[in-house]
Amino acid sequence: MEPLVLLQVIVGGLLLGGLYALAAAGLNLIFGVMRVINIAHGEFLMLGAYVAFYCWRATKLDPLIAVPVAMLVTGLLGLLVMRVVVRRVMRGTELTSLLATYGLSILLLNVSLYAFEGVFRSVPAWTGSIGFAGLTISRARGIAFVAAIILSLTVWLFLRYTTLGKAIRATAQHADVAMACGIDIQRVYLYTFALGAALAGAAGALLITFLSVNPSIGSTFILRAFAICVIGGLGSFPGALAGGLILGVAESLTALWTNTQIAEAVSYFLLIVVLLVRPQGLLSSTGVAGGAATSPAGTADAGERG
């Protein structure tokens, strides 16, 4: 194999991985703060992609401007879902919330199949490619990657330095103590869930610029996002970034050496291997800013049993 081809594939994988990381960041944030795994996260991503698509079809709106629109739509939907559904099931066991969000994901998927039809859509806004140090990079992938990284960094800074961000992190570390310190944790939960949903929407709006999207992509992305969170350590924000990049490269290399179908299964094998070998994640959360410098209780549990 020519080294240049290999390098090309690895760079392509990294670019894709940036998007994966953004897709996983919201899931990770919600889990870190609320201990809820939102199975409907993939559907939020899909809805974000469709917002960008309809903006493009109606007004040829640049996807970069469509990203905030998508974030707004999915964020508001997140608020609604949190208020109506998740708030009720949070007090129950972890499995109750899992079942509720699973039901929601099926509901959203099938309503979307009806509303948007099953055909694949894309937003060909940024066509062409850029030459860079002997490599060719698809323009759409490059722009989407940069946007995803900027967005991830913004959220990281937000969590690190703003009052609300600090409140979110405090709640993630210890909800009861945070409450005792005067933090309205119900409000924190509400904003966290909306922010997580908005991040999924943003990832969807960026993805559709270089990937064809139909309503059922949600289920493949929830598996990827979950694998990324586990690889990086559930609840760890930098971990999700690393996990995303690792998965992106692993998928691209597998696609190069075998075929794209098998590449789809890579996230699963990585997930299982990491869960069995290092359940706390490759970058175990060592208290770096992240939505949650929590000790991942769930993962630690899994570790004891493994």
Partner 1 sequence: MSLAPAPARLGADTPSARKEERTPQRRWPHRYIILTLLAAVLTLLPLIGSNYLLRYAILILQYVGLALSWNIISGYAGYVSFGHVAFFGLGAYTGAIVMRDLPGLPWPIAIGAGGLLCAAVAWPLGRILLSLRGPYFAIAMLGLAQVLRVIASAWQSFTGGGQGVSLPPQQNLSQVYWSMLFVAVAVLALTIKIDGSRFGLQLVAIREDEPAAEVLGVDTVRAKVHAFILSSIAPGVIGALYAWSISYIDPASAFRGHITITMITMTILGGAGTVWGPVIGAVTLSVVSEELWARSPEFYLATFGGIIMLIAMFLPRGVLPYLRHLARRHRRRAAPTGKREVVAPEKGTARA
SS3 at position 131: strand
CA geometry: angle at 213 spanning 210 and 216, to 5°?
150
Contact window for partner 1 (CB under 8 A) among 44-52, 198-206, 222-230, 280-288 = 222-230
By CB under 8 A, the residues from 272 to 291 that bind partner 1 are 272, 275-276
Determine the 3-state secondary structure of 136 from DSSP. Answer: strand
Q: Would you give the binding string for partner 1 spanning residues 88-107, x where CB under 8 A is met? A: xx--x-xxxxxxx-xxxxxx
Residue with tokens 């945070």, as numbered in its chain: 178
**Residue of 7, 114, 130, 184 that binds partner 1 (CB under 8 A):** 114
When asked if residue 302 is in the footprint of partner 1 (CB under 8 A), the reply is yes
37 contributes a contact to partner 1 by CB under 8 A: yes
142 to 171: interface string for partner 1, x by CB under 8 A? ------------------------------
- Binding of residue 111 to partner 1 (CB under 8 A): yes
Is residue 54 at the binding interface for partner 1, with CB under 8 A as the rule? no
The DSSP code for 89 is H
Residue closer to partner 1 (CB basis): 163 or 261: 261
219 contacts partner 1 (rule: CB under 8 A): yes
Whole-angstrom Cα distance, residue 90 to residue 218?
A: 23
3-class state of residue 120 by DSSP: coil
* 59 lies in the binding site for partner 1 (CB under 8 A): no
By CB under 8 A, tell whether 265 contacts partner 1.
yes
**Helix, strand, or coil (residue 138):** strand
Note whether 257 binds partner 1 by CB under 8 A: no
Please answer whether residues 291 and 28 qualify as being in contact, where contact means their C-beta atoms are separated by less than 8 angstroms: yes
Pairing of strands 129-132, 135-138: antiparallel
Decide if residue 197 touches partner 1 (CB under 8 A).
no
Contact pick of 65, 80, 174, 301 for partner 1 (by CB under 8 A): 301
Q: Does the footprint of partner 1 cover residue 214 (CB under 8 A)?
A: no
Nearest to 169 by CA among 30, 38, 293, 28: 293
Distance CA 24, CA 45 (A): 10
Q: Are 187 and 175 in contact (CB under 8 A)?
A: no
Nearest to 173 by CA among 300, 36, 284, 296: 296
Contacts with partner 1 by CB under 8 A lie at 37, 85, 88-89, 92, 94-100, 102-111, 113-114, 219-220, 222-223, 226-227, 230, 259, 261-262, 264-265, 267-269, 271-272, 275-276, 298-299, 301-302, 305-306
